[in-house]
Amino acid sequence: MSEFNPSPNDAPIKQPAEDRFGIDPFAQALASSIRKIKAPEGTVIALNGPWGSGKSSAVNLILHHLKDAVAADEIAIVNFACWWFRGEEALALAFFRELYAGLGPSLGDRFKKALPKIGAQLLRTGALVGAAADLAGYKGAGKAAEAGLAWLADLIHTEDTVEKLHAELTAALGAQKKRFLIVIDDIDRLSPDEALLIFRLVKSVGRLPNVIYLLVFDRELAEGIVSERFPSEGPHYLEKIIQAGFDLPLPQAADLNQELLRQIGTLCGSPPEEQLKRFMNVFYEVIAPEIRTPRDLIRLMNALAVTWAAVGSEVDLADFVALETLRLLRGEVYRVIRANKGELCGLAPRGTGDGRGRASEIDSLLLGSVKEIDRPRLRRVLMRLFPRLESVWNNLHYGEGSDSEWVRERRVCTKEHFGSYFRFSVGDDVLPREEIKSIIARASDAAFVQATLRAALSVARKDGTTKAQLLLDEMTIHAGDVADKDVGPLLTAVFELGDEVDVPGDRAKAFSVADNVLRTHWLLRRLTLERFDLATRSAIFVEACSKAGLAWLADFSSSAYRDYYPVNGRAPEPESNCLTTEADAVTLEALTLNRIRAASQSGELLKARRLARLLFDWRDLAKDDGAEVKAWTAEQFKNDAAIVTFARAFTTYSWSQGMGMSGLGDIVAKRHTRAGVDSLDKVLDLAAFRSRVEELDARNATDDDGAAIHEFLEAWRRRDKNPRD
């Protein structure tokens, strides 16, 4: 990627080699015409073009092509930068000073005083008295202004009429062998009164031999100013001043597009090969139609030079450039997009339910501020950026895999990445791409993977979850980038930390069901099911399970076993969906039982986060109607700390949300504490357990253990009164 330098103040080009929009052939032709004009007498040429179309660049190129004529003393250039001056007095004075500076040296002492005298005569009214005095060289301008116009009699003789002075100047200029080109650029930067003053001044002194004026402005804007001040004149006012007007040719769309693509590539780099087709679709549908002038292009690139550097590596290139284009050139559409994340990312479906009504509602919401003539294209713009809108406007639906692909590409249409496009930074809900690339590149490095996961567990996010949740999600999204040879080592490392990453903070709240155990299941399936045959992936999983955490081993082996021996009347899974071979599934069940038994003796079982689940797994795997697990739990009842552990393990939570009347239901859900004692008699003596819980609660302990016992017992008592509670 080459270095990109923002263009300061939309700086115009100066050399033909810099021309990328086909301006130079026009400039060369106009320069040739100026050079060939014979005996010009106050010829006024207008160069017209809208704001940002490249008029100043065209002027620079015209002057470039006149360099030989200047060097040969055929033409002298007087460049009047009118927009440097503010106020009619300063502008008028500067105009005559520039004429004097440009024309005077060629006139000789006899005639060069004619020009300031003409200026003094023309400026001898109203607020311009001071300017006239200054121009004429009068040293007492302040006193002269106080005395009215009487002072002019001392400087300009009565016979020095404008006509006489003009005739003297005409004679002097007519004798010149060279011509003078007076360039007045950026007239459209002036206020209306200042712009009109320029036209009046040119009209007053314009008809001078060997003098050519090149006036550069936006014709539509200038005609509007004239029509406002002189309603009866309109465009005819300018026609009386200007002999030849030329419209600056607009850049060819192909040239603008080519230069825009070149500069985007220089600044942002090229999109990945697999995303190139979509990038070009977005470019031609969203970006290119808004870039109509070189200044539009420069504005966009100057903005990207700042914003892309801040967040570019974390967003989709096509989406980001498209939104920056809309921000600069379609502000009303950009603001609507920014304010409607829910509708655009599919988070807040609402409406009539009638397809046509829904389309109308969305149309009004997103395009209500847009002119009707622009709506068809802007609908396509929005659908390019937010494909879900196609289901509203085109009745087109995307498959289940589309959303995960959009997330992987970090598209603006995803709730995970939407915010990055508008705050120009990555929040704690997004993992930087470099971190993802790093873990993918080192997927076979078990120590690195585990260190990364452990570090992520220590990072708390604003919503109370840990970064580990985000890391597992991103690994799943980018699972396809992991090399085949690295899948086994990666899964072994993740399985070993299976229990450690199963933190309560990452378990879903309210009505969601996701937790890090489920996220690990999603990851392993994305890594293996579509990549390896059954025997290969089964071998990978058996190896990974050899080092797996206890609770994770029980969970995984149960999933593998249920593929072949489902419950509740379900049919076995087809081989393509099975995690392991049937033989390996049976082997893993036996391994799990042995691990549970060993953990019960070492004390590991009592510390397990999924203790309740493991007790029931023990019963099912032992196939002894619970005799083994009940004997173990009975032994634990002797220990107060074990009773507290059981109470915490059997305390569960649920969420409810009232629907209300007339749609005025609860906005937030309420948490309910429950005693998970259903079927508990299958793994322990329920009466003995209740007795021990009540015994500990009666001590009224105020520490965390006492609070846990009391919370569990209160929930159990509520259940006694209402089994559904």
pLDDT band at 120 (very low <50, low <70, confident <90, very high): low
The residue among 70 and 237 whose pLDDT is bigger is 70
Q: What is the pLDDT of residue 160?
A: 57
Q: What is the pLDDT of residue 222?
A: 80
Number of helices (H) and strands (E), helices first, in the chain?
Answer: 38, 7
Task: Tokens for 381, please give them.
Answer: 């713009």
Under a CB-based contact definition with an 8 Å cutoff, are residues 256 and 288 in contact?
yes
CA-based radius of gyration for the chain: 41
Rounded Cα gap, residues 639 and 244, in angstroms: 105
Query: Which of 121-135, 174-188, 650-664 is the least confident region?
Result: 121-135
Q: In degrees rounded to 5, what are phi and psi of residue 531?
A: -110, -40
Q: What is the pLDDT of residue 174?
A: 73
* 251 secondary structure, DSSP code: P
Cα separation values, 399 from 127, 473, 519, 697, Å: 74, 20, 21, 54
pLDDT band at 263 (very low <50, low <70, confident <90, very high): very high
Task: Tokens for 429, please give them.
Answer: 């809900």
pLDDT band at 351 (very low <50, low <70, confident <90, very high): very low
pLDDT band at 179 (very low <50, low <70, confident <90, very high): confident
Of 509, 516, 504, nearest to 472 (Cα)?
Answer: 516
Rounded Cα gap, residues 692 and 646, in angstroms: 11
SS3 state of residue 487: helix
Q: What is the pLDDT of residue 671?
A: 66
Q: Kindly report the length of the chain.
A: 725
Q: What is the pLDDT of residue 129?
A: 42
Q: What is the pLDDT of residue 111?
A: 54
Handedness of CA 216, 221, 226, 227 (dihedral sign): positive
Rounded Cα gap, residues 120 and 116, in angstroms: 6
> Buried b / exposed e across 599-611, counting CB within 10 Å, b at 16+?
bbeeeebbebbbb
Find the farthest-apart pair of alpha carbons in the chain and give their distance in angstroms, rounded. 132
Q: What is the pLDDT of residue 204?
A: 73
Q: What is the pLDDT of residue 139?
A: 42
Q: What is the pLDDT of residue 551?
A: 95
Rounded Cα gap, residues 556 and 513, in angstroms: 17
Q: What is the pLDDT of residue 199?
A: 85
The answer, yes or no, to whether residue 349 has pLDDT greater than 80, is no
The answer, yes or no, to whether residue 155 has pLDDT greater than 60, is no
SS3 state of residue 396: coil
Q: Which of 41-55, 361-375, 500-514 has the highest mean pLDDT?
A: 361-375
Task: Tokens for 271, please give them.
Answer: 């999109």
Q: What is the pLDDT of residue 130?
A: 45
Q: What is the pLDDT of residue 158?
A: 44
The answer, yes or no, to whether residue 725 has pLDDT greater than 70, is no
Q: Please state the rounded mean pLDDT for residues 591-601.
A: 97
Q: Where are the alpha helices (DSSP H) in 114-218?
A: 114-122, 129-136, 141-146, 152-155, 162-174, 192-205
Q: What is the pLDDT of residue 156?
A: 43
Query: Which of 140-149, 238-247, 468-477 is the least confident region?
Result: 140-149
Under a CB-based contact definition with an 8 Å cutoff, are residues 243 and 43 in contact?
yes
Q: What is the pLDDT of residue 293?
A: 85
Q: Which of 23-37, 109-123, 143-157, 517-531 has the highest mean pLDDT?
A: 517-531
Q: What is the pLDDT of residue 689?
A: 95
Of 430, 428, 433, nearest to 463 (Cα)?
Answer: 428
Q: Please state the rounded mean pLDDT for residues 392-418.
A: 84
The residue among 677 and 90 whose pLDDT is bigger is 677
The residue among 20 and 379 whose pLDDT is bigger is 379
Percent of the chain with pLDDT over 90: 47
Q: What is the pLDDT of residue 623?
A: 94
Q: Please state the rounded mean pLDDT for residues 404-419.
A: 91
Rounded Cα gap, residues 656 and 648, in angstroms: 21
Give 202-228 pLDDT, tens digit per residue.
887 767 788 888 988 888 888 887 777
Q: What is the pLDDT of residue 223?
A: 80
Quickly count: other Cβ atoms within 10 Å of residue 559's Cβ. 17
Rounded Cα gap, residues 511 and 494, in angstroms: 27
Query: Which of 162-166, 327-331, 644-648, 684-688 is the least confident region?
Result: 162-166
Of 119, 76, 77, 75, nearest to 97 (Cα)?
Answer: 119
Q: What is the pLDDT of residue 695?
A: 95
Q: What is the pLDDT of residue 430?
A: 83
Give 704-719 pLDDT, tens digit per residue.
999 999 999 999 999 9
Q: Please state the rounded mean pLDDT for residues 54-61.
A: 89
The residue among 660 and 678 whose pLDDT is bigger is 678
Q: Which of 149-153, 352-356, 582-586 has the highest mean pLDDT?
A: 582-586
Rounded Cα gap, residues 111 and 655, in angstroms: 97
Name the region of 137 (left: φ>0; alpha: ψ -120 to 50; beta: rest). Answer: left
* 197 secondary structure, DSSP code: H
Q: What is the pLDDT of residue 12?
A: 82
Q: What is the pLDDT of residue 641?
A: 95
Q: What is the pLDDT of residue 10?
A: 57
Rounded Cα gap, residues 554 and 559, in angstroms: 9
Q: Please state the rounded mean pLDDT for residues 310-332.
A: 93
What is the chain's mean pLDDT, rounded? 83
Q: What is the pLDDT of residue 167?
A: 74
Quickly count: other Cβ atoms within 10 Å of residue 400's Cβ. 6
The residue among 67 and 18 whose pLDDT is bigger is 67
Q: What is the pLDDT of residue 125?
A: 45
Q: Please state the rounded mean pLDDT for residues 118-145.
A: 45
Rounded Cα gap, residues 662 and 647, in angstroms: 41
One-character DSSP codes across 424-482: SS--TTS--HHHHHHHHHTTT-HHHHHHHHHHHHT-B-TTS-BHHHHHHHHHHHTGGGS
Q: What is the pLDDT of residue 670?
A: 62
The answer, yes or no, to whether residue 645 has pLDDT greater than 90, is yes
Q: What is the pLDDT of residue 346?
A: 79
Residues 6+ apart with CB under 8 A from 323: 334, 337, 385, 412, 421, 422
Task: Tokens for 493, please give them.
Answer: 């490392």
Q: In degrees rounded to 5, what are phi and psi of residue 671?
A: -90, 135
Q: Where are the alpha helices (DSSP H) in 565-661?
A: 582-602, 604-607, 611-622, 627-636, 640-649
The residue among 506 and 534 whose pLDDT is bigger is 534
Give 540-554 pLDDT, tens digit per residue.
999 999 999 999 999
Which helix (H) or strand (E) segment is 551 a member of?
Answer: helix 550-564
Residue with tokens 């937030």: 668
Under a CB-based contact definition with an 8 Å cutoff, are residues 388 and 398 in contact?
yes
Q: What is the pLDDT of residue 162?
A: 57
Under a CB-based contact definition with an 8 Å cutoff, are residues 283 and 320 in contact?
no
Task: Tokens for 375, please give them.
Answer: 């709506």
Q: What is the pLDDT of residue 137?
A: 44
Q: What is the pLDDT of residue 681?
A: 94
pLDDT band at 145 (very low <50, low <70, confident <90, very high): very low
Q: In degrees rounded to 5, what are phi and psi of residue 403?
A: -60, -45
Q: Please state the rounded mean pLDDT for residues 466-477.
A: 91
Q: What is the pLDDT of residue 662?
A: 52
The residue among 615 and 150 whose pLDDT is bigger is 615
Q: What is the pLDDT of residue 119?
A: 58
* 249 secondary structure, DSSP code: P
Rounded Cα gap, residues 509 and 90, in angstroms: 71
Rounded Cα gap, residues 463 and 416, in angstroms: 14
The answer, yes or no, to whether residue 353 has pLDDT greater than 60, is no
Under a CB-based contact definition with an 8 Å cutoff, are residues 117 and 204 in contact?
no
Q: Please, what is the end-to-end C-alpha distance for the chain in angstroms?
A: 64
Of 450, 471, 447, 476, nearest to 459 (Cα)?
Answer: 471
Query: Which of 119-123, 128-132, 478-482, 508-512 is the least confident region?
Result: 128-132
Q: Please state the rounded mean pLDDT for residues 54-73.
A: 91
The answer, yes or no, to whether residue 105 has pLDDT greater than 80, is no
Q: What is the pLDDT of residue 217?
A: 86
pLDDT band at 327 (very low <50, low <70, confident <90, very high): very high
